[in-house]
Amino acid sequence: MKQQIIISGVGGQGVLFVTRLLAEAAILRGLPVFTSETHGMAQRGGTVVSHLKVGEFSSPLIRPSCADGLLALKAENVSLHGAYLNTGAWAVVNSSEPVSGLSDCSGVFTADADTYAQEIGTPKSVNLVLLGFALARIPKENLFCTTDDVRSVMKNRLANRKDMLDASVKALETGHNK
């Protein structure tokens, strides 16, 4: 099993947190994992991209046309990072409108995660809403983990912060049920 996923957004949206949840879900499944992250100045509202590689890899970076999936927390990033995708990849985009430029994908799913996150009173949980949505929509064979795996990871990570855990699980489930 080898999967390469790009997670893209802007600084402050929680790209790193989503990447980390997925990476820990891979460990939970006993799979080797690599991620590569953007730190430093770009995190101040600039474009941020994470590479997630599950399976036997040596390199932490994904080459263009090699990714199996794209999770875009900002629709505008599709034009920046869509070229990472291989033919037949999936893309999940935070957008209230259909997105263009992903014609080679096997499945493109959009969700208005900004609105959903505001509806549940945690406007900054856009990342988790979109993650939950992706976990529900991507066919099992194309994504190495499930919503249950991510929920378990959250429970481990936020064991001492009950309020944050509840809000995070709620955001994940909101996305899952859309």
Partner 1 sequence: MNKRQLLLGNEAIALGLIENGCAVATSYPGTPASEILASVASFQEKNAISMHTQWAVNEKVAFEIAYAGCMTGLRAAVSMKQVGLNVASDPLMSAAYMGTKGGFLVISADDPGPHSSQTEQDSRLMAMMAKIPVLDPDSPGQAKEMITLAYNLSEKFKIPVMIRPTTRVCHARQDIQPGEIVSHETQAEFEKNPARWAATPKFRYQLHNELEKKLAEISAHKETAPSQLSVVSGQLQPGQTTKAIVVSGVAAAHTKDIMKDLDLWDAVSLYQVLQPYPLHTEFISHLINTYDEILIIEETVGVIEMQIADRHRVRGKLDGSVPKTGELLPENIQEIIAEFAGVQSETASLPSVPGRRPTLCAGCPHRASFFAIKKAAKKGIYTSDIGCYTLGLNLGAVDTVLCMGAAISQAAGFYHAYKHQEKRPDIVATIGDSTFFHAGVPALIDAVVQDVRFVLVILDNRTTAMTGSQPTPATGAGACGEPLVSVDIAPLVQGCGVKFCRECDPYKTDELISLLKEAVAYSREHGPAVVIAKHPCLLDRTLRGEQHQPVKIEVTDTCDGCGYCVKHFECPALVPDEAEERVNIDAILCSGCGVCVQVCPKESLSIVSGQ
Residues that bind partner 1 (CB under 8 A): 10-12, 19-20, 23-24, 26-27, 32-47, 57-65, 76-77, 79-81, 83-84, 114, 118, 123-124
- Residue with smaller CB distance to partner 1, 56 or 141: 56
Q: Which is nearer to partner 1, 98 or 123 (CB)?
A: 123
Angle CA 11–163–160, to nearest 5: 95
| Helices and strands (DSSP H and E) totals, the chain | 6, 6
Q: Nearest distance from residue 36's CB to partner 1, in Å?
A: 5
Listed as own residue / partner, the contacts of 83-91 with beta carbons closer than 8 Å and 24 or more positions apart are: 84/6, 85/6, 90/138, 90/142, 90/143
**Minimum distance from residue 92 beta carbon to partner 1 (Å):** 19
Q: Which is nearer to partner 1, 16 or 172 (CB)?
A: 16
Q: Where are the alpha helices (DSSP H) in 11-161?
A: 15-28, 78-81, 113-119, 126-137, 147-157
CA dihedral 145, 148, 154, 157 (to 10 degrees): -70
Are the C-beta atoms of 177 and 136 separated by less than 8 Å?
yes
Q: How far is the CB of 122 from partner 1 (least distance, A)?
A: 10
By beta-carbon proximity to partner 1, the closer residue of 30 and 139 is 30
Minimum distance of partner 1 from residue 4's CB (angstroms)? 11
Which residue in the block uniquely carries the two structure tokens 């992250």? 37
C-beta of 16 vs 136, nearer to partner 1: 16
Tell me the closest approach of the beta carbon of residue 64 to partner 1, in angstroms. 4
